[in-house]
Structure formats: structure tokens, C-alpha cells
């Protein structure tokens, strides 16, 4: 049976308070070390491949730990245009470099997690903006088409078109991204998520005001649908949104509220593919507040990825690299208190009372007939607020309604 008008109105006007995100994880950087915001990414001496066999961080061991012990299901795997083509712009995927990167991809896939390919070039190649005086769109599309063919049968590979575009014409950038989306889909990768990043370093706070949301929101698959096209947001909490400073000055709630409202109104979704903080007391509070807001708006903010682990040393200001004790990995305080909980399933108490069977007390009041009292409650949004006083109750109630069991 179709949802009632009351339910449709509710979901349009109110965020669904799930309290958990669908995609949660951490970045495994290293290849991107040395990349600058002008799109230069010298391979030597900076790149530090995050696999032990290449003398970098233990990316494979970290990912296994994060899945098994931390409940993560998503990893962002930065690389660079220069690395994949061995600095031969316009060429084919370098057989040696692309095979090395594939080892990282396969290590990720072997955990059962989703694996984001992250092209860490800031919409540039050695100073030139893609499609705007730098490399022509055709070379960008060719790179992504090659990657799409390589991973066309891997449903859990995500294509992150570009890390943090900035200082460009957003209308032209959206056209570039449209060409890349078309190329990826025509190359056979029809089921994978494609992440669409906006200007101003993909800032969540300015995604709407910069025109990024409207421009990128118009991008479609070749069949005209928008399935699998997810907006790509970034946000840090320091004074200039760079992630370079120890102190956190903003919890970003209002910035995320603005983009969440736009996403809900336009029936779109976004993933925060990069966010992070230090373990300074100012960050422990504000980073947790930010992530709590994201999780409570997970109907549209469907995931977030912390920055970063991989080849980062423990001294790095934003490190999420777990500590090896000799017997296993241990997550740091920021990871434990501000990230891990948002990927876990609804707890035992919630499951017992509001699990798959949707317990007796709720069932009687909001059961299959979807009685008068429930309908009246949806007429009054204030009444809805009083229906449940915790995330688990709201989650269970709305899941039942959406599945038609309470209508």
C-alpha cells in the first residue's frame, strides 16, 4: 500500500533521525604525499605507498583491523593522475603503477568494504585546470574510462572523480564531470557510486552558495537517471578549513544543516569523503558534535570518511593511524570517541524492543492497519516529535511505515 500523504509530508519536512550512517570509514593515504593544490604530484621523494611491501604504512593490516574491530565498511584510497600514468599525461594506465595501486584496491575489497578511488589532483594537472586551460576534458574522461573498464565488475569500488576542486568555473567543471560520468558508465561500470565534488575544496559549508549543488545536481547517467550519483563533501574544523591546525574553531553544524536541507529538498544524497581533526580538547568536543549531526541526518548525509591513516605517522596532526601493540591494532582517542560509534548497528536494547519484529507495544499502536492515532500524529509535526525520544524508536517507527507495515 502506498504511504499516506501524512507520511510523505513528514519525510519532506523532517530529517529522518537514523543515528547511523551507511558508509563509515577512513582514508588510507600515502601515494598522494607531495601533491599540492596546483595539481602537481611528484612521485619522488614524497609518495609513500601504504603497503608494507612498498616500505609504506600497513594499509592492508589497518583495513582488516578497521573492519573487524571498528565496524568500518568504507576506505578512501588516494592516488594521483601522475602515479597512475607514470607521469605520461594522455597515456594508458602504467602497467607497473596501476598494478601497485590495484594491490591496495584488492586489499580493500578483500575485507568486504567499499573502496573509493580518490584522484588527489585538485581538478588540476601540474598547474593547469582540467577543461579550463589545462588538460582537456578528453584526457580526464579517458583516464576515468580506463579505470572504469578495469573495475567494471567490482560493485564495491566507488569512483571519486577528483579531490577538492577549487578556484574554477563551477559550470564548466560540472560539464567536465558530466563527460566523466558518461565515460564511466559507457565503459561498463554501471552500478558503482560516482562521487561528484564541488569547488572551494568541496566544502560542505559553501556547497550550496558556490553553485556546486545545483550545477553538479544536474548531472545524469546516460539513461537520464541520477542513480549512483552522490555529491562529495569535505569539511575540516580549524580556522581556515584546511585541516592544518591543531585547534578546532567550528563544529560545522550550520554548514551541514544548509547542505542537508538542499539534499532533502532535491531528493539527493552526499558522502563526506574527507573530514578530520586533532585530539586537542577543542576538537574532541566539536568533532564529535559534527559527526553526531551528520549521523542524525543520515537520510541524506549517508556516510563520512575520516582523514587519515595509511602511511601517516602517529605524530601527524590529524592522524587516525592505529597503534600497533605487537599483538594487534588499537585506535586512538579521536577514533574511539568521535567516529566508531556511528557505524555500529542499533544496540542490543534497541534491537530487542524495536527490532525486525517491531515489538508488541509499538505494533499495537502503529500496526498493519496504521490506525487513526498514527495518522493524526503525522498531521502535527510537534506530535511526531513526542512519539519517540530516542533515535532507535524513530528509526524503527519510520522503517515500518516506509516498508508499508504500518500503513
74: its cell numbers: 568504507
Are 247 and 375 found together in one domain?
no
Are 246 and 316 found together in one domain?
yes
Residue-by-residue pLDDT tens, the chain, 407 positions: 323 333 333 333 334 444 789 999 999 999 999 999 999 999 988 999 999 999 999 999 999 999 999 999 999 999 999 999 999 999 999 999 999 999 999 999 999 999 999 999 999 999 999 999 999 999 999 999 999 999 999 999 999 999 999 999 999 999 999 999 999 999 999 999 999 999 999 999 999 999 999 999 999 999 999 999 999 999 999 999 999 999 999 999 999 999 999 999 999 999 999 999 999 999 999 999 999 999 999 999 999 999 999 999 999 999 999 999 999 999 999 999 999 989 744 333 333 333 333 333 333 333 333 333 334 334 434 433 443 344 444 444 444 444 443 33
Are 38 and 131 found together in one domain?
yes
Are 317 and 188 found together in one domain?
yes
Extract long-range pairs of 144-148: CB within 8 Å, 24+ residues apart: 144/180, 144/183, 144/184, 144/187, 145/183, 145/184, 145/186, 145/187, 146/92, 146/93, 146/187, 147/84, 147/93, 147/117, 147/184, 148/183, 148/184, 148/185, 148/187, 148/188, 148/189, 148/192
Are 136 and 184 found together in one domain?
yes
Task: Provide the pLDDT for residue 45.
Answer: 87
Contact 365, 371 (CB under 8 A): yes
- Residue labelled with grid coordinates 583491523: 65
Please identify, among 309, 343, 377, the residue that sits at the C-terminal boundary of a domain: 343
Are 375 and 324 found together in one domain?
no
Active-site positions read: 164, 274
Are 126 and 10 found together in one domain?
no
Q: What is the largest CA-CA distance in the chain?
A: 69
Are 319 and 363 found together in one domain?
no
157: its cell numbers: 569500488
DSSP string for 107-157: HHHTTT-EEEEEE-STTEETTEETTTTSS-HHHHHHHHHHHHHHTTT-TTE
Are 114 and 54 found together in one domain?
yes
- CATH number of the domain within which 152 lies: 3.20.20.80
Report the distance separating Cα 248 and Cα 238, nearest Å.
Answer: 4
Contact 274, 307 (CB under 8 A): yes
Please identify, among 298, 314, 343, the residue that sits at the C-terminal boundary of a domain: 343
Are 363 and 289 found together in one domain?
no
Which residues, at least 6 apart from 178, have a Cβ–Cβ distance to it below 8 Å?
Answer: 219, 220
Structural domain including 389 reads 1-17+345-407
Which residues, at least 6 apart from 200, have a Cβ–Cβ distance to it below 8 Å?
Answer: 166, 206, 210, 212
What global pTM score does this model have?
Answer: 0.82
- Residue labelled with grid coordinates 600515502: 30
Please identify, among 343, 358, 388, the residue that sits at the C-terminal boundary of a domain: 343
Could you give the number of structural domains in the chain?
2
Are 271 and 157 found together in one domain?
yes
Task: Provide the pLDDT for residue 44.
Answer: 87
Are 141 and 209 found together in one domain?
yes
Amino acid at each position: 500500500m502506498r504511504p499516506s500523504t501524512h507520511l510523505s509530508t513528514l519525510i519532506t519536512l523532517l530529517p529522518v533521525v537514523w543515528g547511523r550512517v551507511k558508509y563509515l570509514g577512513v582514508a588510507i593515504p600515502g601515494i598522494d604525499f607531495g601533491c599540492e593544490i596546483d595539481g602537481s604530484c611528484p612521485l619522488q621523494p614524497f609518495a609513500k605507498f601504504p603497503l608494507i611491501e612498498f616500505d609504506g604504512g600497513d594499509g592492508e593490516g589497518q583495513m582488516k583491523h578497521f573492519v573487524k574491530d571498528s565496524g568500518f565498511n568504507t576506505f578512501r584510497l588516494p592516488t594521483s593522475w601522475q602515479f597512475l600514468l607514470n607521469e605520461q599525461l594522455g597515456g594508458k594506465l602504467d602497467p607497473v603503477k596501476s598494478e601497485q595501486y590495484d594491490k591496495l584496491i584488492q586489499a580493500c575489497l578483500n575485507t568486504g568494504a567499499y573502496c573509493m578511488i580518490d584522484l588527489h589532483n585538485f581538478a588540476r594537472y601540474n598547474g593547469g585546470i582540467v577543461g579550463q586551460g589545462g588538460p582537456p576534458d578528453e584526457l580526464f574522461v579517458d583516464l576515468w574510462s580506463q579505470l572504469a573498464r578495469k573495475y567494471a565488475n567490482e560493485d564495491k569500488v566507488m569512483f571519486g572523480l577528483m579531490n577538492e576542486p577549487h578556484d574554477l568555473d563551477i559550470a564548466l567543471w560540472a560539464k567536465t564531470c558530466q563527460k566523466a560520468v558518461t565515460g564511466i558508465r559507457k565503459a561498463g561500470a554501471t552500478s558503482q557510486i560516482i562521487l561528484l565534488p564541488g569547488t572551494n575544496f568541496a566544502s560542505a559549508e559553501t556547497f550550496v552558495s558556490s553553485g556546486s549543488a545545483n550545477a553538479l545536481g544536474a548531472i545524469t547517467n546516460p539513461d537520464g537517471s541520477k542513480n549512483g550519483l552522490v555529491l562529495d563533501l569535505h569539511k575540516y574544523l580549524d580556522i581556515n578549513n584546511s585541516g592544518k591546525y591543531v585547534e578546532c574553531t567550528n563544529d560545522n553544524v550550520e554548514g551541514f544543516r544548509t547542505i542537508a536541507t538542499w539534499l532533502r529538498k532535491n531528493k539527493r544524497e552526499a558522502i563526506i569523503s574527507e573530514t578530520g581533526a586533532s585530539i586537542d580538547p577543542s576538537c574532541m568536543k566539536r568533532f564529535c558534535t559534527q559527526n553526531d549531526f551528520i549521523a542524525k541526518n543520515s537520510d541524506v548525509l549517508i556516510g563520512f570518511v575520516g582523514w587519515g591513516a595509511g602511511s601517516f605517522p602517529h605524530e601527524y596532526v590529524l592522524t587516525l593511524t592505529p597503534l600497533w601493540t605487537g599483538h594487534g591494532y588499537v585506535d586512538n582517542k579521536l577514533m574511539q570517541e568521535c567516529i566508531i560509534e556511528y557505524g555500529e548497528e542499533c544496540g542490543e536494547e534497541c534491537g530487542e524492543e524495536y527490532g525486525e519484529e517491531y515489538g508488541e507495544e509499538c505494533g499495537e499502536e502503529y500496526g498493519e492497519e496504521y490506525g487513526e492515532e498514527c495518522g493524526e500524529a503525522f498531521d502535527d509535526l510537534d506530535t511526531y516529535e513526542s512519539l519517540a525520544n530516542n533515535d532507535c524508536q524513530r528509526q524503527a517507527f519510520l522503517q515500518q511505515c516506509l516498508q508499508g507495515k504500518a500503513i
